[in-house]
Amino acid sequence: SLQGKTALVTGSTSGIGLGLAASLAAAGARVILNGFGDVEQAREQIARLGAQPGYHGADLSDPEQIADMMRYAEREFGGVDILVNNAGIQHVAPVDQFPVDKWNAIIAINLSSVFHTSRLALPGMRQRNWGRIINLASVHGLVASKDKSAYVAAKHGVVGLTKTLALETARTPITCNAICPGWVLTPLVQQQIDQRIAAGVEPLQARNDLLAEKQPSQEFVTPQQLGELALFLCSEAAVQVRGAAWNMDGGWLAQ
C-alpha cells in the first residue's frame, strides 16, 4: 500500500497521466494533479478513488512555474515521495519543415521539465530516505520513427537522464526508472489518427494502419496496464530495478 506517500503526476488531467494518478490513488497514495483542460473532471475521478487530490496548474515549459509547483507540494503535502514525470506533447513533421517553436516546446516539456522536477524533488526524498521517480518515456526513447525528431530526441534524453538519476541515487532507497509505452489511445495519439483521416483514410482504417505499422499485437496498451507497472516500480520488490527503460508496447521493440 502507498498509504502515507504523496505522488505528483505531471500532465495528469488526461490520458496516461490520469490513469497513473488513478492507480496510485487507488493504492492509497495522496495525489497531486497537474495539467490543463478538464481539471474538475480529473479531480472528481481521483477523489472517488481516494483522498481529495491536490492540483497545481504549472506550465511545465517554464522552470519558474515548476519551482512554484514543487514549493506547493512541499507546503501542502510535506513533499513528493513518488514523482511521475508524464506530461508530454507531440508534433509530427519532417526535420526540414519542423517549426522551431514546436522543437523548443517539446524539448522543454518532454525533457527539461524532468530535470527540473527531479532536481527539486530529490532533496526531500533524500531527507525522508525513500523515493520513486518514474519517467514516462516511450518506445521513442529507444528507437526512432520518421517525422518525430523533437519527440525522439527528447525521449532518448529522458532515458539517458533516467540512467544518470539512477546512478546518483544508487546507494539510497530512491529509485529512478523509465516506462516506455507503445501506442496508447489517448488524445495525443487520436490527433495522429485524425491527421490520417484528414488525408482521406477511413477512420477505422486509419486506426488499424497506425497499429499495424508498429505494434505487432495490433492492440493499444491501456493507461490501466501502465498503472499496474508503475505500482510495481513503487513496491519494495522493485527496489533493485534501477535505471531501467521498461517497455510495454505490444511487441513494438521486439522487431
For the chain, helix (H) and strand (E) counts, in that order, are: 9, 7
Residue 32, C-alpha cell as written in the block: 497531486
Nearer to ligand NAD, 60 or 70 (CB): 60
For residue 221, the 8-state DSSP code is B
Q: How far is the CB of 1 from ligand NAD (least distance, A)?
A: 26
Residue 13 interacting with ligand NAD (CB under 6 A): yes
Q: How far apart are CA 209 and CA 74, in angstroms?
A: 46
Residue 124 interacting with ligand NAD (CB under 6 A): no
Nearer to ligand NAD, 159 or 234 (CB): 159
96-125 CB burial, b ≥16 within 10 A, e <16: eebeeebbeebbbbbbbbbbbbbebbbebb
Residue 89 interacting with ligand NAD (CB under 6 A): yes
Binding residue for ligand NAD, selected from 35, 50, 157, 227, defined by CB under 6 A: 35
Packing angle of the helix pair 113-128, 149-168 (nearest 10 deg): 20
Q: Considering only 92-100, 176-184, 199-207, 229-237, which stretch makes contact with ligand NAD by CB under 6 A?
A: 176-184
Nearer to ligand NAD, 68 or 173 (CB): 68
Phi first, then psi, for residue 177 (nearest 5°) are -140, 160
Residue 12, C-alpha cell as written in the block: 495528469
Residue 68 interacting with ligand NAD (CB under 6 A): no
Which amino acid is it at 150? A
Q: How far is the CB of 218 from ligand NAD (least distance, A)?
A: 14
Residue whose C-alpha is closest to residue 221's, from 187, 177, 251, 191: 251
Residue 150 interacting with ligand NAD (CB under 6 A): no
Q: Considering only 35-43, 124-132, 209-217, 234-242, which stretch makes contact with ligand NAD by CB under 6 A?
A: 35-43
Binding residue for ligand NAD, selected from 87, 152, 165, 178, defined by CB under 6 A: 87
For residue 159, count other CB atoms closer than 10 A to its CB: 19
For ligand NAD (CB under 6 A), the number of binding residues is: 29
Residue 17 interacting with ligand NAD (CB under 6 A): yes
Q: How far apart are CA 228 and CA 76, in angstroms?
A: 27
Nearer to ligand NAD, 29 or 211 (CB): 211
40-60 CB burial, b ≥16 within 10 A, e <16: eebbebbeebbeebbbbebbb
55 is catalytic: no
Residue 187 interacting with ligand NAD (CB under 6 A): yes
Residue 112 interacting with ligand NAD (CB under 6 A): no
Residue 183 interacting with ligand NAD (CB under 6 A): yes
Residue written as cell 526540414? Answer: 96
Catalytically annotated residue among 32, 108, 112, 151: 151
Catalytic residues: 151
Task: Give the footprint of ligand NAD on this chain (CB under 6 A).
Answer: 11-17, 34-37, 59-61, 86-89, 109-110, 136, 138, 181, 183-184, 186-189
